[in-house]
Amino acid sequence: MSRQFDVIVAGAGMVGSCAALALAARGMRVALIEAAPPLAQDSDPERPYDLRVSAISPRSRHLLQQLGIWQRLDAERICYYEQMHIWHQHGSASVSFDAVDLARDNLGAIVENRLIQQTLHQACDVERGIEWFRPDRIETLLENTDRGVEIRLESGRCIDAGLLIAADGRNSPTRALAGIDIQSGSYRQSAIVANVDTAVAHRHTAWQRFLSTGPLAFLPLANGQSSIVWSCDDELAEQLSSVDNDAFCEALGEAFEYRLGEVTGAAQRRSFPLGWHSCERWLLGRVLLMGDAAHSVHPLAGQGVNLGFSDVDLCAHTIGACRDMIPQQLLRRYERQRKSETWFAANSFSALKWVYGLEQGGIPKLRNLGMHLIDSTPWLKRAMVGKAVQNIT
């Protein structure tokens, strides 16, 4: 049976638009559905940095380079970080990683989410294999069998394809329409994000301090500021969100041990609750979950989107050569592999958050010994940082 499209992608965030572009680049006919209107294209180099940024791993950067996206990003707004420093509120142990240990130029890059998404959308606009449906959304899933899917959009149009990729976020409407169950819970924490000025330059270093109330990350921005993600217990988050700018900067500097001197200013602050979710199955019939629709991790250091980009990379390599009918066994193979890889990454982030938050019994002493061991063992540090930059995706 000839279908209108090979693949329908629901959601044109960073992961969804990247998936559409990667599959279209392999000759597939892709319908890209997005509920929001087109993004405003702001090319002002002096505009303030967005509050939502990501730490793009070398593996994710390679994918974006293959698609011609990385080369089109505004290089002046990309900050490559060369070192990472991690320490705990209690105890003297710390761990530092350096790109030199891997004979690399850097460990990753901090980039605004909006910049990546805008550039992906520009590429999708001119890609012949992609047809946009925006603003629009899926109203009804009319058919979902091993042969394909058919959907009705709110605009009234019906389209069909061999596969429907749900990449429409953690509250994915497409996932709900397909009837895929989700398990979720709350960390009982909120993340406060802001872009801050400091008395001392960030030195192209990503900083992570673990506090008893939650982790605090300082990520370097290309304009000299730092993007902070302060995850803290809900009660403390509420207090910090209500104080004025000077009081917030003072509290932030103290929590960060003034590693970059005084925090001299903070742009607008936002906070959002932190939770987790997972799905027992990512594939039901011909509906496949991807990105935040399938999984989530604690935002320790802006790494979450790398999981989604790895979803895209494997999916494109797994089904990119298929035409007309994508074998179901290929989709199941993709599901098994990515579920396994993502389970390990997601639980590693959660375990770090949990272990570094414990203060009972001999945990602090063991934690300090472990950090000392890592920091004083060159081969172990090389193995850990190599795993991080290549596979924490």
User: How do residues 338-376 score in pLDDT, each as one tens digit?
Assistant: 988 877 665 555 545 444 555 555 555 555 555 555 555
Are 176 and 189 within 8 A, CB to CB?
no
Q: Give the 3-state secondary structure of residue 125.
A: helix
- Domain with residue 175: its CATH number is 3.50.50.60
Amino acid letter, residue 270? R
- Three-state secondary structure call for residue 384: helix
Strands 130-133 and 30-33: parallel
- Give the Cα separation of 73 and 88 in Å (integer): 35
For helices 328-355 and 304-319, give the axis angle rounded to 10 degrees.
160
Pair 172, 50: CB distance under 8 Å: no
Confirm if 15 and 306 have CB atoms less than 8 A apart. no
Neighbours of 384 (CB within 10 A): 15
pLDDT for res 341: 81
**In the Cβ-directed half-sphere of 192, how many Cα atoms lie within 13 Å?**
26
Contacts 24+ apart (CB under 8 A), 39-45: 39/114, 39/117, 39/118, 39/121, 41/118, 41/122, 42/118, 45/74, 45/76, 45/77
Beta bridge partners of 131: 31
Asked whether residue 364 is assigned to any structural domain, the reply reads no
Q: What is the pLDDT of residues 110-121, one digit of tens each?
A: 999 999 999 999
The whole-number pLDDT of residue 370 equals 57
Q: Does residue 386 form part of some domain?
A: no
In angstroms, the CA 252 to CA 64 distance is 34
Residue 268 lies in a domain: yes
Is the whole-model pTM more than 0.85? yes
**Torsion 106-112-116-119 (CA) sign:** negative
Specify the pLDDT at position 88: 81
pLDDT digits (tens, 9 = 90+) for 40-97: 877 677 789 999 999 999 999 999 999 999 999 999 999 999 999 988 887 666 778 8
Domain tally for the chain?
1
Backbone dihedral angles phi then psi of residue 218, each to the nearest 5 degrees: -115, 115
Mean pLDDT calculated for residue range 238-264: 96
239 has a pLDDT exceeding 50: yes
- Domain contains 375: no
Of 303, 307, 88, give the one whose Cα is nearest residue 214: 88
Q: Which domain holds residue 158?
A: 5-39+48-354
In a domain, 115, yes or no: yes
* pLDDT value for 86: 87
CB 314 within 8 A of CB 339: no
Burial class of 90 by CB neighbour count within 10 A (0 to 12, 13 to 18, 19+)? middle
Which residues are CB-neighbours of 347 under 8 A, at least 6 positions away? none
Question: Which residue shows structure tokens 């069909």?
Answer: 160
Task: Find the distance separating the first CA and the last CA of the chain, reported in whole Å.
Answer: 37
Residue ranges of the alpha helices (H) in the chain? 14-24, 58-66, 113-126, 173-178, 234-242, 245-255, 304-319, 328-355, 363-376, 378-391
pLDDT in tens, 115-164: 999 999 999 999 999 999 999 999 999 999 988 999 999 999 999 999 99
What's the DSSP call for residue 292? G
When the pLDDT of each residue in the chain is averaged and rounded to a whole number, the result is 87
Q: Are 10 and 165 in contact (CB under 8 A)?
A: yes
pLDDT of 101:
78
The token pair at 67 is 């698609």
Count how many residues are written for the chain: 393
Counting Cα atoms < 13 Å in the Cβ hemisphere of 4 gives 13
Q: Is residue 363 part of a domain?
A: no
Each residue's pLDDT tens digit, 216-235 = 999 999 999 999 999 999 99
Is 391 within a domain? no
Q: Could you tell me if residue 317 is inside a domain?
A: yes
